[in-house]
Amino acid sequence: MAVIGSGPAGIYTAEALVKQSAEPVAVDVLERLPTPYGLVRYGVAPDHTSIKSIANYLRRVLELPQVRFLGGVTLGEHLSVEDLLGVYDAVVYCTGAMVDRKLGIPGEDLPGSVAATDFVNWYCGHPDVDPDRFTLDTSEVAVIGVGNVAVDVVRVLAKTAEELSATDVPHEVLERLGESQVKAIHMIGRRGPEHAKFTLKELRELGELANADVCVRPEEAVVLGGDFPRQVQGNIKVLQSWAAREPVGRPRRLDVRFWMRPVEILGSERVEGLKLERTRLSEDGRVVGTGEFETLPVGMVLRSVGYRSVPLPGVPFSERTMTVPNEAGRVREREYVAGWLKRGPTGVIGTNKSDAAETVRTLLADLDGRERVGHDGIGALLASRGVRPVTYDEWLAVEAAEAELAKTLGRGERVKLVGLEAMLRACRP
């Protein structure tokens, strides 16, 4: 079997294949990066070390004798769907959701208007983003969206470099964070506190920031009606308690705003401001503008309004749902899908486990009694294309180099190596 993508969905799929199959199975996990774990490595916030430790569970799957990691192999570049179906009995696509959704407002493409996907990739040291990409040389920043990614981004902006020193943030990025001029962060929700997508635990952390005062306007914290789920009631309570707080003069200030939507990013050469419009809900529940405007003097706008999957060459894709159409994980004969590419970009890491299990149940039921075509041909195929995959042991060498770097720098357990070259140097000296 081939699993494409080594994020949580891919690795849980590999695990389910090994555990659920009644007959012996061999699983190759093909990954475009030299490193496994997808968003666990390049998404989960660096200061959330306990969540990052899920990698220790995922690692045990890659170490199963039936599972093989092949890094640096990209579906659509090095291999086609036909190539895969020629050597494997079945293929499971688990390539996640790698790009940002658009706001669709004027000024969105100005320098200084940044997708959270890029900013997260930057502080996580993703090889797609240069460590010099961002200099935080503006005093005010707006973060659009009130989901958990927005909360992560706000926390990284609000903390000091010292507070992040023990994390795996690349050293070059930590230096940029240390030079940050940011004094005010505005987090903008287009609906009310009762509609915010962040979870209670993550919200509470913002109130515990040592380096930032958190402010909420009392009039924006008002919520009508009361029959909300427990999580939402918790969010409302926390936000209302902040509305009653006075700032105590911490170096940075976080303003959490509600009922404001972005209508234009202002500026000629780069971002100079953000125009917001107050909103309300229409009778049919849509967000509509009230005609009352406000401008924030920000030099950077971080758009954290959700991720989006990209089509894989040769694989069906719905432009409407931005996912691969499937029935309980089945796409076409011998082709399956799991994770964010299957469901869309929502849900925590654990959600991908039951999701992968469903796909694997479908796959194994379909294969039952069918003639097998799979054979160990991938090595020869990749060699014929001049591709030498990064092995699991080579990845371990990257990990070891990251631990060594942390020791040299006197920082935490590991510091990320930046760039494909540095990673390949570490594993193929």
Ligand X SMILES: NC(=O)c1ccc[n+]([C@@H]2O[C@H](COP(=O)([O-])OP(=O)(O)OC[C@H]3O[C@@H](n4cnc5c(N)ncnc54)[C@H](OP(=O)(O)O)[C@@H]3O)[C@@H](O)[C@H]2O)c1
**Which positions lie near ligand FAD, rule CB under 6 A?**
4-10, 30-33, 38-39, 43-44, 48, 51, 74-76, 94-96, 98, 120, 149, 152, 307, 312, 339-340, 347-349, 352
Provide φ and ψ at 269, rounded to 5°. Answer: -90, -35
Give the residue with the Cβ less far from ligand FAD, 289 or 347: 347
Judged by CB under 6 A, the chain residues 380 through 409 that form the site for ligand X are none
Report angle CA 210, 212, 214 to the nearest 5 degrees: 115
Closest approach of Cβ 105 to ligand X, in Å? 8
Does 9 carry a binding-site annotation? yes
Nearest to 212 by CA among 242, 251, 157, 243: 251
- Per the CB < 8 A criterion, the answer to whether 96 and 324 are in contact is no
Cα–Cα distance for residue pair 213/242, rounded to 1 Å: 10
- For 58, 142, 191, 258, 319, the CA distances from 145, given in Å and listed in that order, are 30, 10, 10, 10, 23
Which listed residue (15, 202, 335, 394) binds ligand X by CB under 6 A?
202
What is the distance between the alpha carbons of residues 103 and 9, in angstroms, rounded to a whole number? 28
In the list ligand X, ligand FAD, none, the entry touching 75 (Cβ below 5 to 8 angstroms by class) is ligand FAD
Residue 359: which of ligand FAD, ligand X, none does it interact with, CB under 5 to 8 A by kind? Answer: none
Question: Total binding residues for ligand X by CB under 6 A?
Answer: 24
Per the annotation, does 283 bind a ligand? no
148 scored as a contact of ligand X (CB under 6 A): yes
Select the residue whose beta carbon is closest to ligand X and give its number: 147
As a whole number of angstroms, the distance between CA 27 and CA 370 comes to 18
- 191 assigned to a ligand binding site: yes
Examine residue 197 and tell whether it contacts ligand X (CB under 6 A). yes
Of residues 92-121, which lie at the interface with ligand X (CB under 6 A)? 103
Name which of 116 and 401 has its Cβ closer to ligand FAD: 116
Which is nearest to 364 in space by CA: 325, 332, 336, 326? 336
Question: Which listed residue (348, 365, 383, 400) binds ligand X by CB under 6 A?
Answer: 348
Q: Does 296 bind ligand X (CB under 6 A)?
A: no
Instruction: From 5, 32, 52, select the one nearest 127 (Cα to Cα).
Output: 32
113: three-class secondary structure by DSSP: strand
Q: Establish if 261 lies at the interface with ligand X (CB under 6 A).
A: yes
Element at 255 (helix H, strand E): strand 252-257
For ligand X, which is the closer residue by CB, 6 or 117? 117
At a CB cut-off of 8 Å and minimum separation 6, what does 324 contact?
A: 93, 309, 312, 315, 316, 317, 318, 331, 337, 341, 342
The candidate with the shortest Cα–Cα distance to 83, out of 323, 385, 325, 366, is 385
What distance in Å separates the CA atoms of residue 221 and residue 198, rounded to the nearest whole number? 15
Instruction: State the minimum distance, in angstroms, from the CB of residue 287 to ligand FAD.
Output: 23
CA 23 to mean position of chain CA atoms: 35
389 binds, among ligand FAD, ligand X, none (CB under 5 to 8 A by kind): none
What is the C-alpha to C-alpha distance for residues 234 and 413, in angstroms, rounded to an integer?
34
Stretch that binds ligand X, among 79-87, 339-347, 359-367, 412-420 (CB under 6 A): 339-347
Q: What is the spatial distance between Cα 142 and Cα 157, in angstroms, rounded to a whole number?
A: 11
The whole-angstrom separation of Cα 221 and Cα 112 is 29
Candidate segments 267-275, 325-333, 345-353, 414-422, binder of ligand X by CB under 6 A: 345-353
5 binds, among ligand FAD, ligand X, none (CB under 5 to 8 A by kind): ligand FAD
Q: Which of residues 307-326 bind ligand X (CB under 6 A)?
A: 307
With CB cut-offs between 5 and 8 Å by kind, which of ligand FAD, ligand X, none does residue 147 bind? ligand X
Ligand-binding site membership of 162 (annotated): no
Does 276 sit near ligand X (CB under 6 A)?
no
Q: How far is the CB of 347 from ligand X (least distance, A)?
A: 5
Among 16, 150, 382, 390, binds ligand X (CB under 6 A): 150
Which residues are near ligand X by CB under 6 A?
A: 103, 144-150, 152, 189-191, 195, 197, 202, 261, 304-307, 345-348
- Residues belonging to the binding site for FAD are 9, 31, 39, 75, 340, 347-349
- Residues belonging to the binding site for NADP(+) are 190-191, 202, 347
